[in-house]
């Protein structure tokens, strides 16, 4: 007999599959799943291999060999990666060291002459998703800029400095079309007003950007959840469209995104094979 909690989770999953919808973050948080988590769909001439990664930071990670093997076996005609458009490195090792699984996919695609693109919706679409949910332009820019601080610490092992912050500000001014806060000092002032007390903008915790929460410690958690919802909805439509056009699509995202999108993809592309 199924444990009552397990039975409830099964019902949630079945309901999502019937409705062909993306799981919510709360539903996904209650679903136990492996990472990596991979699915293979076949629909007519088209197919999708969707690799949900436990994000890779080291070339020796076993997922690197697994992705390369799946790529060779699947023989894609089109590839998508999370995280924008990383530079293509000269080797798989360099690609993984700098850009994780996204860099690896770009390296494999360039090597084999396969078209590759970002799986992400445009920054303007993400901004509009936040605006329609009630976030101010100031909050939106602070969210996108400040989210880079814990990511920089994780990659570089040191806090982001002000020179790098200025570069990040310029990038997001152009990408979002939002011009304020305009300087490092203005950003620090906005952070002091909008966020819980913290030592310095470069030390904000990664937990403030986690979209899974009960009582969010900062507005950035709710913003992260909304952006994640926009990204998942975009991805389902993008992948479905390309498979229905007959492409063999190789795509990577974080494992939780694949779990959340699975019911919606099942409704559009049929029952998948779970990758071992």
- Position 214 scores a pLDDT of 83
For the cut 70, the answer to whether the pLDDT of residue 208 exceeds it is: yes
Question: What is the pTM (predicted TM-score) of this model?
Answer: 0.85
pLDDT band at 149 (very low <50, low <70, confident <90, very high): very high
Q: What mean pLDDT comes out for the span 238-257?
A: 97
Count of C-beta atoms within a 10 Å radius of residue 198: 14
For residue range 11-64, what is the model confidence (pLDDT) as tens digits? 344 444 446 899 988 788 777 778 899 999 999 999 999 999 998 889 999 999
For residue range 77-96, what is the model confidence (pLDDT) as tens digits? 999 999 899 999 999 999 99
- Position 92 scores a pLDDT of 96
The chain-wide mean pLDDT, for the chain, equals: 91
Which of 5-9, 25-29, 55-59, 167-171 holds the top average pLDDT? Answer: 167-171
């Amino acid at each position: 007999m199924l444990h009552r909690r397990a039975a409830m989770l099964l019902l949630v999953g079945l309901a999502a599959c019937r409705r062909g919808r993306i799981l919510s973050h709360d539903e996904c948080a209650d679903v136990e799943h492996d990472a990596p988590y991979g699915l293979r769909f076949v629909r007519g001439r088209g197919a999708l291999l969707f690799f949900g990664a436990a994000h890779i930071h080291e070339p020796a990670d076993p997922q690197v060999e697994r992705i390369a093997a799946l790529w060779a076996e699947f023989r894609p005609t089109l590839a998508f990666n999370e995280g924008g458009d990383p530079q293509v490195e000269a080797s798989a090792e360099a690609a993984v060291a700098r850009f994780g699984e996204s860099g690896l996919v770009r390296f494999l695609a360039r090597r084999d002459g396969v078209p590759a693109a970002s799986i992400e919706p445009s920054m303007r679409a993400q901004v509009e998703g936040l605006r329609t949910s009630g976030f101010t332009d100031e909050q939106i820019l602070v969210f996108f800029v400040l989210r880079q601080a814990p990511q920089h610490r994780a990659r570089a092992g040191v806090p982001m400095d002000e020179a790098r912050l200025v570069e990040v500000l310029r990038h997001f001014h152009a990408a979002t079309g939002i011009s304020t806060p305009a300087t490092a000092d203005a950003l620090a002032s906005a952070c002091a007003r909008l966020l819980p007390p913290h030592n310095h903008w470069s030390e904000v915790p990664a937990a403030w950007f986690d979209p899974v929460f009960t009582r969010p410690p900062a507005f950035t958690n709710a913003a992260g959840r909304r952006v994640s919802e926009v990204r998942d909805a975009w991805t389902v439509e993008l992948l479905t469209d390309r498979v229905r056009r007959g492409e063999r699509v190789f795509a990577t995202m974080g494992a939780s995104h694949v779990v959340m999108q699975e019911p919606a993809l099942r409704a559009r592309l049929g029952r998948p094979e779970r990758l071992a």
